[in-house]
A = this chain, B = another copy of it.
Amino acid sequence: MAADQRRSARRERGLPGGAARRAWPGVTPFAKVAIVGTGAVGASVGGGLRARGLATAVWGLDPANAEAARAVGAIDRVAASLGEALDGADLVLLAAPVPVNRALLGDAALREALGPRAVLTDVSSTKASVVAAAHAGLGARLGRFVASHPIAGSDRAGPAAARSDLIAGAHVIVCPTEDCDADALATVEAMWAALGGRVARMDAAHHDRLFAEVSHWPHAVAFALSASVGCGPLADDARRYHGAGLRDTTRVGGSPPDLWAGILLDNREASLAAAAAFRVELERIERALADGDRVALVAALERGAAWRTTL
């Protein structure tokens, strides 16, 4: 890709590429932000911090995506190691897949490289196991950790899907532990708010039950629906002749399977509970249809529509 094409691609995504930075009222820019995992979400946060002048330098660490994240303007520097990424960082963002974020929280190298005033957060889609990993692994640094979940993302993977305005208007759930330092919590909440996020606090277990219902199991449903059509005998006609209904219903069924297997397994019990609740509703519809019972079928469909039309 030529340099001018890269600049044009940056502008389209709103990522910085030499634009003047401006101070953000009420927020002191971070001297060094370290983003571990520069996929779609990590690169978006990096690009958003850079675009708003909220960081003097953003370092990225990612075996697969760091160079690409720098190419799209999401980070300034590529770190060669976790130690180099974290050295002197005042904000560390764990934005790798959930199992990797958990492993990092248990990694002595992270604990030792984290400065005493550095603030640590993550963007994992599940929170209870991440908070537990922080408890088990962070030792004296536990108070510097604030678990976060921005309700924003993409069914596309990697820094090419990054947008510096990804967080703008999105809810960001934070799940502070009892041990959390007040200034660490304030810093993380201010960072998300400066990116345009609408911050809400929630207990980690409640978060996980809620997101099993509104995100994790719905992803499984979209994968299953895509598979039932796409592995069936009419797959080619279905690809050609479907309408917007199937496109929307299955959109997140095109998300990265590895990533979503990690999320579902990490929130296994709550996801299975959501699956059971879904199966009850599905069987209600299927039974009414099999029985040719129009009254029961309308009533079953009404149960969904009554809530959906209030969104």
In the complex, are the beta carbons of A223 and B265 less than 8 A apart? no
A249 in complex: contacting residue of B221, B265, B305, CB < 8 Å:
B221
Interface of A, secondary structure class, is helix
Binary contact readout A135-158 vs B (1 if CB under 8 angstroms, 0 otherwise): 000000000000000011101000
In the bound assembly, the distance between CA atoms of A168 and B284 in angstroms comes to: 37
Instruction: Please tell me how many copies of the chain the complex holds.
Output: 2
Chain B residues whose C-beta falls within 8 Å of the C-beta of A218 in the assembled complex: 225, 245-246, 249-250
Chain B residues whose C-beta falls within 8 Å of the C-beta of A151 in the assembled complex: 241-243
In the complex, are the beta carbons of A235 and B307 less than 8 A apart? yes
Binary contact readout A264-291 vs B (1 if CB under 8 angstroms, 0 otherwise): 1100100110110111111011100110
In the complex, are the beta carbons of B309 and A223 less than 8 A apart? no
Q: Which residues of A contact B (CB under 8 A)?
A: 151-153, 155, 170-171, 173, 200, 206, 209-210, 213-215, 218-232, 234-235, 237-258, 260-261, 264-265, 268, 271-272, 274-275, 277-282, 284-286, 289-290, 292, 294, 297-298, 300-311
Interface pairs (24), CB distance under 8 Å? A151-B241, A200-B241, A210-B234, A210-B238, A213-B232, A215-B242, A220-B285, A222-B249, A223-B301, A224-B300, A225-B281, A227-B300, A227-B303, A227-B307, A230-B306, A239-B310, A248-B248, A248-B252, A254-B308, A254-B311, A257-B298, A257-B301, A260-B301, A264-B297
